[in-house]
Chain A
Amino acid sequence: MANGEITSIVIRTVSRIIIPFIQLFGLYTIIHGEASPGGGFQGGVILGTSIILLTIVFGLEEAKRRIPRGLILVFMSLGLLIYSGIGLLDMLFGGKYLEYTRLPLPLPAHEISALSILCVEIGIGITVMSVIILLFFYSVRDEDAHGINA
Chain B
Amino acid sequence: MIYPLGLLLLLFLVICALIAVSLKDLLDSVIVLSVYSLIMALTWLEMNAPDVAFTEAAVGAGVTTFLFVAALSKTKRREE
Contact = CB atoms under 8 A, between A and B. Distances in A.
A and B together in one complex: yes
Interface of A: 29, 37-39, 41-42, 45-46, 48-49, 52, 56, 132, 135-136, 139-140, 142, 145-148, 150
Contacts of B73: 140, 145-148
B63 A41 contact: no
Contacts of A150: 76-77
Interface residues of B, number: 21
A38 B54 contact: yes
Chain A interface, >50% SS class? helix
B70 A139 contact: yes
Interface of B: 27, 50-51, 53-55, 58-59, 62-63, 66-67, 69-77
Nearest to B67: A139
A136 B67 contact: yes
Q: Which 9 A-B pairs have the closest CB atoms?
A: A37-B50, A139-B70, A45-B58, A148-B73, A145-B73, A42-B54, A37-B51, A49-B62, A140-B70
B77 A45 contact: no
Contact of A145 (B66, B74, B77): B74
A135 to B, nearest CB: 7
Contacts of A142: 74
B38 to A, nearest CB: 15
B71 A139 contact: yes
A39 B55 CA distance: 9
Contacts of B50: 37
